[in-house]
Amino acid sequence: MVLSINSLLPVEPSALICAAEGEIMEKKGVILMNRFELGRLLGQGTFAKVYHARNLTTGQSCAIKVIDKEKIMKGGLIDQIKREISVMRLVRHPNVVRLYEVMASKAKIYFVMEYVRGGELFNKVAKGKLKEDAARHYFQQLIAAVDYCHSRGVYHRDLKPENLLLDENGNLKVSDFGLSALKESRRQDGLLHTTCGTPAYVAPEVINKKGYDGAKADIWSCGVILYVLLAGFLPFHDQNLMEMYRKICRGEFRCPQWIPPEVRKLLSRILDPNPSPRITVAKLMENSWFKKGYKHIDSPPPSPHARRIDLLISDVHAVFDSSGRENSSQNEAAVPTSPVRPSFFNAFDIISLSQGFDLSGLFEKDLDQRNYSRFTTRKPATDIVSKFQQIAQTESFSIKNKDGKVKLQGSKEGRKGLLAIDAEIFEVTPSFYVVELNKTAGDTLEYKKFCNQELKPSLKDIVWTWQGNEQQQS
């Protein structure tokens, strides 16, 4: 995908412009918003396309990411797009792709970004391993960018050679912050909980789904990238995806003999399956091999246009928020409760359900003190929520339901306060669902007692299997 220009394009406070009734079709040569001439298609995904473009005022190249607003609203990705805008606004570093401005029409959102001419680092690696000095140069720039992002409270969560671009001078640029997270996204335990990333580059604690430190997860991905640059292939690879995940979680990899001993030692500290002793970015930057020829580049001062960019982002938020309120009011007129929109299981979620692939032992000392359980069902999401509503009424619990997440809170004070349980509904197929239960507050023993004596018996009519049960209910 995409993305580079050496000077800042002007950011106008009126850049959020609505097109006329007929939406502009993205074609080569089309003039967008009276300011940009669209060129060739650089890449595309499910919800967006990226085009080369020329700024008609300055004549300079840029890349424009065109996002279909209707598709992201239907896919429930509004918050993800908002987060991507916020993140790209926060990070301004020589080794990070720049977001210049945001524009919107009735049906599209446009990201005007830096155009990076050299393509993906992946294309270099695909031809074979790199020389040690070249690999170190790219790795140094990657770590500099990651360190800066972390200092701004940003965690990328999908670092891989395909998301590392090279400019005409061979400088690395980190791109694609679509799966990134902000420090504010952490839960009360101080950890992130969304399972995402690319399987071969993801840290074991992310797969485990019990929460993870975003910085530690990013540094693991950087270690995999360093290995790929020097070896020419992945450290953890197997045709069987399950077996590959087992290797990742055990930290099982071998370095080819041409990788220097000092790098092997560094890789073993980065690719430690236990995140606690895993090397930090700060310690990594003190490593003697890393420091060879390293030139620290100071980040530029804050942009004088930062306030205007904030206004643009607020406007984009307003477009989504107003649409959301309209939809919400229409729904409320017809249905008194929130519509049930369950989340979808990704590859990590499905793998974690597989028999014999419980990774908890790697991260939890006392498996009897788990605060979660999981069951499968063939009942539709509306029936699942209805059953929880019945339980809440019977047990005097308050209940909230939003987007496939049900929150139950008890009314009786326990040893550690009121018991609170989250139930999240995931759609595997249109006729098969997984429900995860997590204790979010209260005493663990009281939670287990409530689950065994009240919750599980009440759910038996809809449960197909509980996790770990071999017998299936008809």
Query: Binding site: residue ranges?
Result: 65
Maximum Cα–Cα distance for the chain, whole Å?
A: 71
Q: What is the DSSP letter of 370?
A: -
Token digits of residue 325: 């309120």
8 Å CB contact between 214 and 83 = no
Q: What is the DSSP letter of 8?
A: P
Q: Which amino acid is at 91?
A: V
8 Å CB contact between 110 and 65 = yes
Angstrom distance (rounded) from CA 76 to CA 70: 10
Token digits of residue 401: 């339901």
The residue with tokens 């990076």 is: 116
The reply to whether 238 belongs to the active site is: no
Binding-site members for ATP are 65
Continuous H helices in 176-298: 204-208, 214-231, 241-250, 261-270, 281-284, 288-291
Angstrom distance (rounded) from CA 81 to CA 69: 10
Q: Pick the catalytic residue from 68, 133, 158, 310.
A: 158
Angstrom distance (rounded) from CA 342 to CA 427: 6
- Sequence-ordered list of residues with C-beta below 8 angstroms from that of 397, at least 6 positions apart, any chain: 391, 408, 409, 410, 411
Token digits of residue 116: 């990076």
Q: Give how far the C-alpha of residue 168 lies from the chain's centroid of Cα atoms, to the nearest Å.
A: 29
Count Cα neighbours of 311 within 13 Å in the Cβ-side half-sphere: 11
Angstrom distance (rounded) from CA 389 to CA 367: 30
Token digits of residue 292: 């060879």
Count Cα neighbours of 430 within 13 Å in the Cβ-side half-sphere: 0
- Active-site residue set: 158
